[in-house]
Amino acid sequence: MIETRLGEFEEVILLLSGILGEEAYAFKIAEEFESQTGRTVSIGAVHSTLTRLEEKGFLKSEMGKSTAERGGRRKRIYTITAYGKKTLANARDFKQALWDQFPGFATSKLSLGIQ
Amino acid sequence: MNNQVKPPRLARRLLKAFLRNDLAEEVEGDLDEKFHSEVKNKSVFKAKLNYWYQTLNYLRPFAIKKLNRLQVMNNHLLENYYKISKRNIFKHKMISFINVFSLAVGLAACVIIYLFVSDERSFDAFHAKNNNIYRLDEVQKFTGTNEQKVALSMPGMGPALSRDFPEVQMYVRLWLRGKQLISKNDTKHLIDNVMTVDSTFFDVFDFPLVQGDVNTCLDRPLTILLTESTALKFFNTTSEALNNTVTWDGKDYEVTGILKDVPENSHIQFEALLSMVTYTSGENNVNNSWGGNWMTTYLLLEPTANIPAMEEKFPAFMSRHMDDPEINTYYKLYLQRLDDVHLASTDIEHDYINYRKFNGSYLIIFYVIAAFILLIAAVNFMNLTTARASHRWKEIGVRKTIGAMKTQLFGQFIFESVMLAIIALVVGLLLGTLFLPILNELIGRQLSILPLFQNVWQLIAVLVGTLSLGIATGIYPSFYMTSFNLSRVLKGGNKGEGKSVLRSTLVVVQFGLAIAMMVSTLIVIQQLSFMKDSDIGFDKDQMMLVNMNNEANEKFETIRKELQKQSVIKGVTASGQRLGNNFHQGGFKVKADTGVLEITPSNVNVDYDFLNVYGIEVKEGRGFSKDNPTDQDFAFIINESFANELRLKETLGTKAGHGWYHNDSLGTIIGVVKDFNFNSLHYKVNTLAMVVHPGWGYEELSVKIEKGRTEEGIAAVKKVWDELVPSYPFDYTFLDAHFEEVYRSDKQMSAVVAIMAGLSILISCIGLFGLAAITIEKKTKEIGIRKVLGATEGQITVLLSRNFALLIVIAFAMVSPITYMALHRWLESFAYRININLLVFGAGGTLALAIGLLTISFHTLKSARANPVKALRYE
């Protein structure tokens, strides 16, 4: 059975690969993660997560272009799959549903709706 | 962008080494990009550091190379290896037995030696502050006496040191009272090792107090602490004992605490402790007592204390506290680490508080012996495996043809030797468990193999040790077996393995070690029996020593008369100190022509008959006589060493006396006795003065009992004693038992060396037995041809034995000088020692040769007698 639940870190990485689009490869994702969250992360950790997400079918990858900084080496570009997008949306909806049941938060949202 | 800067090469190599090939491009690219961005934004150093960080973070399961299945053993191969090993073990039962047995004996010896050594090392380790506790010792150098190290110090030293030296946190003094009669109403018991101690005792040492207040129990005068078993001698329960009183020396002492019985591995052993405060007030405050050394002082120092610096200040300290301007020529104080008290005090005299004192340098010898034995066992394994290589050639050839790589074959042989090592460990532990009780008996220990399993780290160490032993012994045979080239192996190649320089060398090493240990054992035994049998100048056999108290002293004459009536008793006398230790030294005056000489000999207070009963020979003058009234207190008999030291024209009749005698009322030297070894033979005979001084009281009654009627003698003395001395229980020991005690450390060491020497010869011989079997088997054809051509059995036996004999002779020649030097050094620790007789070496070598040849004779004779037809038929 394939694990379909998303961990917090996995979810963020998946989102970031979606955001970065053409530029979604391990180093860039790690950089983006650091700048967006303010937390440090090693490329290895990101890479390992990307591999796992690919195994689960949320991502697919192919080798992309090379640049001079990389000593002429190509990079592996990850693209989010439809299944990945769906899982992300499900995760968001599920949390939204939970938030809606959360007393303080739910009322304030409701009052916003009235205004 | 700085293209000059490159990522650290080592990190990159590491990355390449472990990273999966299909990931290499993208990962290296990513890391390069990261590196360059770091260089741009931060510093080169930080970028390099980060590269390392990133590299190490790729050590994740997903990114690491899958190990090449061909290179490592997979489960099926392991199974096959196991199966083949098992078959090999059972197919060659004798060789396997030799391999396993010798390794097992080696491992058992190592485990036992380890247990022995760790038992000795565990001494005093239970004191939490043991690293900062030091004993104050002295080097004394008085005129007319041998320079000596002493474990005693002056009572004033402890308090003064803690006042004068900020490094000294605390001092505690132990004043040994020895065996004391303690009573509660009608219950009387002799309590051994009673000590008076300072109230700081528990601040320095961690002897557990089970009842009572550890902070205050020694704070008041007339208080006593009892160990649990002592308390139960007087009271039903320890709770009943607490706050109750017991009587000692006519006074009641309050029991303020109950101590756990002192553990076996403590050099301080006691059964009751008295509080020192009783003596630290009033006129005779011991804190101000200088001059006499009769307490043992321990100091608790600050962890930062600089010991050499402190010791440098001791001379000034001594001058400050003692008036004598010469004081520092007599005394040199030094500090001894608590660890060393048990293991490095054999050269220290007057060391009365030192239970089971052991010569720590022997521990190193034990380690060396353990290593030797293991080495000898390992040599067996290596020799037998390589000598038998031809049996495995077909297997190796087939494996190679199927595609086995060298590393795989190598792995297989290592696997086999590790397997054998593990079997050997199991057998070894069983052997150890089996023989430990016998060994315990022999060396007086309570070693147990169990603690080995209770401590995880020890267990791991044993397992790791065994595995590495397996690997280490397997490496050479594995190299050897895998080094043949395929074609030769498959052709069933021969030659080239009959002779092996390395194998011969190993046999030389093996026999060299065995011979060294054998010769050492012979010399050690010789020295010990020399000490036992040598004429120490007095008669220690059948001498019963009975502890005396005041009443026994008062009634001494009556006791003597009663005892002398009995035919079983050959003589009765008494003395102030027991033979076998150094006697207490004290100031002594001799009035020579040139003036009064001040000298510090050993002194002992004896009864008139002492010289007669102990058979001490008077060389000049006369012995003590009751008919001569001045012989009491004012007549001295000195030993030859003392007489030589004095170098007077006429020793007899010279005026002399103890230090405090007035110059006008000195006594006379009435006799000179031949030197006798009142101290252990480790030490030279010291100068000695004997005096009859009943007023000081005698400590022990010496009763000489007729040989063969010991039991009767003991009963007779007990009967007289119980009648005449109701106030004190009859308590005796024998002098020769006491001497056994004096030489115990030496004895135990010789027992261990003897056992190990026996084992090493045994292992070497069974190794040789196996090796001979293999090499002779290979010569079957040669022997057959020789016999056909007319060689006699004798010629063939000689031919086959010659090579082995040569190896043993070489081993002997190489090892003898080294052994000689080592033994010479050991003997130097005895003041009275044997000369090394080279014949002993000859005997050891011959014995080794004889045992060796005897071992192989089984094979040589068998093949020499065999029918040549059998050997040649196969062609």
Q: Measure A94 CA to nearest chain B CA, in Å.
A: 30
H/E stretch holding B254: strand B251-259
Of B25, B57, B59, the CB nearest to A73: B25
Please tell me the distance from the alpha carbon of residue B256 to that of residue B591, in angstroms, as a whole number: 52
Strand ranges, E, within B4-79 = none
Residue of B375, B359, B702 lying closest to B546 (CA atoms):
B702
The residue ranges of chain B whose pLDDT is under 50 are 1-2, 69-71, 495-496
Q: What pLDDT score was predicted for residue B302?
A: 94
Q: Cβ of A70 and B30 within 8 Å?
A: yes
Residue of B170, B254, B152 lying closest to B213 (CA atoms):
B254
| β-bridge mates for residue B597, sequence order | B590
Residue B321 C-alpha from the chain's centroid: 39
Q: What pLDDT score was predicted for residue B792?
A: 87
> Which of B12, B25, B46, B64 is the mutation pick for testing A, counting most A CBs within 10 A?
B25
Q: What pLDDT score was predicted for residue B495?
A: 45
Residue pair B199/B215 in contact (Cβ under 8 Å)? The answer is: no
Q: What pLDDT score was predicted for residue A107?
A: 53
Q: Cβ of B26 and A76 within 8 Å?
A: yes
Q: Cβ of B33 and A27 within 8 Å?
A: yes
Q: Residue A109 pLDDT > 70, yes or no? A: no
pLDDT in tens, B500-536: 777 888 889 888 988 888 888 888 888 888 877 778 8
Q: What pLDDT score was predicted for residue B267?
A: 95
* Confidence band, pLDDT 50/70/90 cuts, at residue A106: low
Q: Measure A24 CA to nearest chain B CA, in Å.
A: 12
Please tell me the distance from the alpha carbon of residue B737 to that of residue B748, in angstroms, as a whole number: 15
Chain A residues near residue B38 by CB distance under 8 angstroms? none
Q: What pLDDT score was predicted for residue A66?
A: 79
Q: What pLDDT score was predicted for residue A32?
A: 92
Q: What pLDDT score was predicted for residue A1?
A: 35
* Confidence band, pLDDT 50/70/90 cuts, at residue A115: very low
Q: Cβ of B29 and A73 within 8 Å?
A: yes
Q: Residue A113 pLDDT > 50, yes or no? A: no
Per-residue 3-state assignment (H helix, E strand, C coil) for B371-418: HHHHHHHHHHHHHHHHHCHHHHHHHHHHHHHHCCCHHHHHHHHHHHHH
> Which of B1, B14, B16, B33 is the mutation pick for testing A, counting most A CBs within 10 A?
B33
**Taking CA atoms, what residue in B is nearest to A71?**
B29
Chain B residues near residue A71 by CB distance under 8 angstroms? 28-29, 32
Residues 6+ apart with CB under 8 A from B62: A47, A48, A51, A52
Q: What pLDDT score was predicted for residue B281?
A: 81
Per-residue 3-state assignment (H helix, E strand, C coil) for B527-538: HHHHHHHCCCCC
- The token duo for B315 is 């001379």
Q: Cβ of A74 and B29 within 8 Å?
A: yes
Q: What pLDDT score was predicted for residue B489?
A: 65
* Confidence band, pLDDT 50/70/90 cuts, at residue A2: very low
**Taking CA atoms, what residue in A is nearest to B50?**
A42
Q: Residue A111 pLDDT > 50, yes or no? A: no
Please tell me the distance from the alpha carbon of residue B668 to that of residue B657, in angstroms, as a whole number: 8
Residue pair B387/B775 in contact (Cβ under 8 Å)? The answer is: yes
Looking at chain A from residue 49 to 68, which residues have their Cβ under 8 Å from any Cβ of chain B? 51-52, 63, 66-68
Looking at chain B from residue 5 to 64, which residues have their Cβ under 8 Å from any Cβ of chain A? 23, 25-34, 36-37, 53-54, 57-60, 62-63
